[in-house]
Structure 1
Amino acid sequence: MVAGDRPGGVRTRGRHVSATLLGQGAPVTRLLVTNAVLLTCDPDRPPAFRGWFTVGDDGRITGVHEGDPGPEVTAERVLDVAGALVGPGFVSSHSHLFTSASRGMAADQSLYGWIEGMTRYTEAADAEDVYWFTRHGAQDFLRNGITTAFDFTDPDLAFERQSAGVASFVAALPDTAYQHAQLRASLDAGLRSVHSVMLGQGAVPQADALAQLDDVVGMAAAFGDDPRFLRMAVSGAVQWAPSPAAADLELAAMRRHGLLNQPHLLETPHEVELQRSKFGWYRDAGVLGPDVVFGHFIQTDEAIIATSAEAGCGVSWQPMSNGRLASGVTSIPEIRAAGMRVGIGLDDQSCTDVSDPFSNMRTGIALLRATYRDPAAMPVGDMLTLATRGSAEVLGVDDRVGSLRVGRFADFLVVDPRDPDTGPVWDPVATYVLACSLRNLHQVWSGGVQVADGARLVDPQAGEVVSQTHERMARLAAAVG
């Protein structure tokens, strides 16, 4: 059962949380979190234990310990969570934040029909519009316990569908300011970001596409000291490209700036052989390697998985959106058995609809166990790891996020299974994954700073973000018709 009584303190959603200021003079640490059941996602520790941790002035964890701190441990602030579960902030390894204003659209469509419906209005957006839409998505993530995201920015390129399974983007150079607005938005919201951009497609000369990428990278350099800006990436687009030259371009971009590449690939159940032939473009161009993370990767075969595993590629799995769009079930057991790293994403907020990492975990477990008729297809503890540390590892940022370990940022969640009550806690990890939900998420912290109290964001501009998003989307809808 969960250890910890309920000491006196500040009343928060029916639960006592003590947040006491201690000490005179120079504090030892910025924050001490105590009386917690810790789910650290640290492979060198038990899955759950009663303990405490400290956070330094740089927002990073300075110590994680079992039991209770002694009287010699002081801090600027003490957060007594009264026996609640404390886990790392979720890491979404695959997200499209700008879609936050387009939920519930194309409700009965598969991927490309949904894209047509979802982008109908955002195609008319300008850089200022997409800034507010992205910030709306970022603060929605934070409110729901997602503290880090790989963000596929809107390239502002026209989408064309040729069939149920084939689509392309009109050859053009994505606008630098338009893409940059989305990076500013996620950071302004307080979300940690892996910022991903799409390159020029089709007839655009490679030199022009790389020069435009240089502009994007140069603009992003202004955020180089911001701890929320984790790294840049390429949004691999071979799935929508007309020729193998797209793979050559992505390889050149990766080498030019040391970028991660996450391509959407093998996603829909339509025209599977065509999709698999495009995997060959990446293989033949020499793109495959540890800096490649395949998004979705559903319509695979044994040879594709083996080739990808041998090269060291990773996979980002999106259970809820794959189900909503009828894309299929990713072969996660085979992929993991082959040795590929796996992370979990919330995907578009307009096809996951509710950016709920708890539901995403449960959906993934249910899909795999039902498909394989085997509970071992996805153990509960493994699912929590994939949604946190696993996602950080696949993105190459696990030295900073994804677990409660010394040196990582103090991005953590306070989840109380007693409010509302889920019953006795026999297994903290199982309760966290299977029985808890957003209603049990009481606090979200990033870098040792609270960013959400229940469903309320601490950001004083949160209301303005909502107003701007609704007003701008209404204007676009009226203009498009």
Structure 2
Amino acid sequence: MSFLVLHARLITVPAGTDDPGYIDDGWMLVGDDGRIAALGAGTPPVGTVADETLDVDGAFVAPGFVSSHSHLFTSGLRGLGVADTLYGWCDSMLGSTAHMSADQLYWSTLHGSLDFLSNGVTTAYNFTDPLQAWESMVDGKRTGTAGLRGLEYHWRQAEGTRDAGIRFVDAAGMDVTAGTPDEVFERFAAEVAHTRTFDPDFALGSSIMGQVQWSPHPEAAEFEVEAMRRFGVTNQAHFLESPEAVEHQQSKFALYRDAGALELGLVFGHFIQTTPDIIERSVAGGAAMSWQPASNGRLASGVALVPEMLEMGMRVGVGLDDQACTDVSDPWQNMRMGIYMQRARTKDPLSMMPERMLRLHTLGGAEIMGVADRVGSLEVGKFADFVVVDPRRPDVGPLWHPVRSYVLAMSPRNLKAVYVGGRLVNADGVSTNPLAAEASAKLHELPAALVPLRGHPH
């Protein structure tokens, strides 16, 4: 069904320019295929017709947000590990998922995906909970001997993302300490193959959850690089995140560098406890990074040197991380926290401007995920994934600089509708997904199911 949007404050975030692409009174035509067929200023050309017309009457219409680093299975674990940094928080949060069944992870992932959509996030890079259960870190290290769960544990998480209707890149850990090399690659191949049976308009790609930071295996980086080449997948690694055991963390950079991962476009998630040499080598090698401002603040991880990295030519995207370490999956909060953190650190307001922050949380995220040809901006040929945001409900006053007000003054309270492929998926915070009520009910059963198994997490 074709769809025509009228009288919109369009923010298009076009590729190839720093201009946010603002049109004060614009229109957008969505074709039967769910892609943007045309857009422009003023009124559509004579003869433009559609099956349905939406007059947004001066509301913002902007790209759906892209989260380039997410863990959607954590939606039922908010508020845990509040007194801890990364490793202790993981003990609390992942120590709970260690007792969850594949079906419980399905509903948690589905709920988390719908939660993202309800706040305007239409595409997510999603780390699934690995098959190898979490084990505590000691001095930044782990043994890699935890038990291994069956493939269904990953498959059900991927299915939860699919059934929510969010677009996603599915990331799975290789767990290289579990099994022979042949078994490791066969297991990962089965995870990738399952996701590749999904509709490619929604399952945008497969990826590796890079585990070198966590793995004691001396050849973990080589395994991941071989999988990138063999299966044609990307790789994003949690790296240099926590303020503990920093020297040990930094020593592992050489493993990725020497294995050739940088040249294959490795993405570093968080990338906070860096050195000038690590940044320089990463940029020279072609690596990118994903920045999670709200998560980094919640876990007391620190502030990544994002303006400096951008100045050096590093590709950067922004992620919301997960509900268990941001609590509210609010992309506007995430943008503002990013702006404020960088300005407070540099004492320079130009170090992070609203227009740049918006680009990083939309097109920038899509670029480092390798999906910018399909999502991340409102351009002809891309999927019509967009949000309708009304600055008058509640009223924020005059829009002296509309794009800056969109970033600095909007929030989910102004979000009136979310569309994926021109199809309404959420209206005023209410999901149109027929599984939404069941997902909510299943999620609220988790405490009663998990506390007898592991006790009450902190």
Please indicate, yes or no, whether the TM-score normalized by the shorter chain is above 0.5. Answer: yes
- Three-state SS of the structure 1 residue aligned to 2:400 is coil
One-letter identity of the residue aligned with 2:213: Q
Please tell me whether residue 255 in structure 1 is matched to residue 229 in structure 2: yes
- Cross-structure match for 2:13: 41
Q: Partner amino acid for 1:133?
A: S
Q: Which of 18, 33, 48 is residue 58 of structure 1 equivalent to? A: 33
Match of 2:329 in 1: 355
Aligned to 1:217: 192
Counterpart among 294, 302, 325 of residue 299 in structure 2: 325
Where does 1:281-430 land on structure 2 (aligned, <5 Å)? 281-430=255-404
Q: Distance in 2 between matches of 1:466 and 1:438?
A: 19
Q: Which amino acid aligns with 1:457?
A: S
**Offset of residue 256 of structure 1:** 0.8
Structure-2 separation of matches of 1:158 and 1:169 = 9
Q: What residue in structure 2 maps to residue 455 of structure 1?
A: 429
Residue in 2 aligned with 1:157? 132
Q: Distance in 2 between matches of 1:244 and 1:297?
A: 21
Alpha-carbon distance in 1 for matches of 2:2, 2:97: 42
After alignment, is 194-203 or 41-50 more displaced?
41-50
Instruction: Write the distance in 2 (CA, Å) between the matches of 1:181 and 1:89.
Output: 25
Counterpart CA distance in 1 for 2:147 and 2:374 is 35
Deviation (angstroms), 1:159: 2.2
For the residues of structure 1 that align with 2:144 and 2:88, how far apart are their CA atoms? Answer: 15
The TM-score with structure 2 as length reference comes to 0.96
Contact 1:173 1:201 in 2 (8 A): no
Q: Shift of the alpha carbon at 1:168? A: 5.3
Does the 8 Å contact 2:20/2:355 carry over to 1? no
Q: Distance in 2 between matches of 1:95 and 1:166?
A: 23
- Contact 2:140/2:248, CA 8 A, preserved across alignment: no
Q: Name whichever of 277-286 and 168-177 sits farther off.
A: 168-177
Change (3 A) 1:174 1:193: farther
Partner of 1:77: 52
Identity of aligned residues (%): 48
Segments of 5+ residues of structure 2 without an aligned counterpart are none
The Cα shift of 1:338 comes to 1.3
1-side partners of 2:95 and 2:327: how far apart?
17
1:184 and 2:159 correspond: yes
SS in 2 for 1:263: strand
Distance in 2, matches of 1:266 and 1:110, equals: 13
- Aligned match of 2:110: 135
Contact 1:158 1:170 in 2 (8 A): no
Match for residue 4 of structure 2 among 32, 54, 58: 32
Deviation, 1:167, is 4.0
Measured at CA, do residues 195 and 68 of structure 1 come closer, stay the same or move farther in structure 2, by a change above 3 Å? same
Alignment partner of 1:275 out of 243, 249, 268: 249
What CA distance in whole angstroms lies between the structure 2 residues aligned with 1:195 and 1:93?
11
3-state SS of paired residue (1:235): strand
Q: Contact (CA 8 Å) 1:172, 1:201: kept in 2 or not?
A: no
Which residue of 2 is the match for residue 478 of structure 1?
452
Structure 1 unaligned blocks of 5 or more: 1-28
Give the distance between the partners of 2:262 and 2:148, measured in 1 at CA.
Answer: 25
RMSD of Structure 2 on Structure 1 (CA): 1.5
The alpha carbon displacement at 1:293 in A equals 0.6
Q: What is the aligned partner in structure 1 of residue 439 from structure 2?
A: 465
> Where in structure 2 are the equivalents of 1:200-211 lying within 5 Å?
200-202=175-177, 204-211=179-186
SS of structure 2 residue aligned to 1:366: helix
Q: 1:439 to 1:281 in 2, by over 3 A?
A: same
Structure 2 CA distance, aligned partners of 1:174 and 1:262? 22
Structure 2: how far apart are the matches of 1:243 and 1:213? 17
In the TM superposition, what is the alpha-carbon distance from 1:476 to its structure 2 partner? 1.9
Q: CA–CA distance in 1 between the matches of 2:6 and 2:360?
A: 26
Provide the rounded CA distance (Å) in 2 between the counterparts of 1:67 and 1:258.
Answer: 44
C-alpha distance in 1, partners of 2:405/2:297? Answer: 24
When normalised by structure 1's length, the TM-score is: 0.91
By how many angstroms is 1:164 displaced? 5.4
Output aligned runs, 1:4-43, within 5 Å: 30-43=2-15
Q: Which amino acid letter does the alignment assign opposite residue 132 of structure 2?
A: L
1:3 maps to which residue? none
Q: Deviations over 1:426-470 (max 9, x none)?
A: 111111100011100000000000001011111122111100111
Partners of 1:400 and 1:409 within 8 A in 2: yes
What's the CA shift string for 1:140-164, capped at 9, x where partnerless? 0000000000000001423222435
Partner residue, 1:92: 67
| Residue equivalent to 1:106 | 81
Amino acid at match of 1:288: L
Deviations 1:120-146 (A, max 9, x none): 321111111100010010000000000
Deviation at 1:70, TM superposition (A): 3.8
2:219 corresponds, among 221, 228, 245, to: 245
Query: Amino acid of the residue matched to residue 120 of structure 1?
Result: G
In structure 1, how many angstroms separate the alpha carbons of the residues matched to 2:404 and 2:77? 33
- Given the alignment of the two structures, is residue 232 of structure 1 paired with residue 206 of structure 2, yes or no? yes
CA distance in 1 between counterparts of 2:83 and 2:446 reads 26
Give the residue type in structure 2 aligned to 1:41. V
Greater alpha carbon shift after TM alignment, 40-49 vs 162-171:
162-171
Q: Distance in 2 between matches of 1:284 and 1:379?
A: 36
Compute the displacement of 1:218 (Å). 2.0
Q: How big is each residue's C-alpha offset from its partner over 1:167-197, in whole Å with a ceiling of 9 and x where there is no partner?
A: 4543565532110111110110111110000
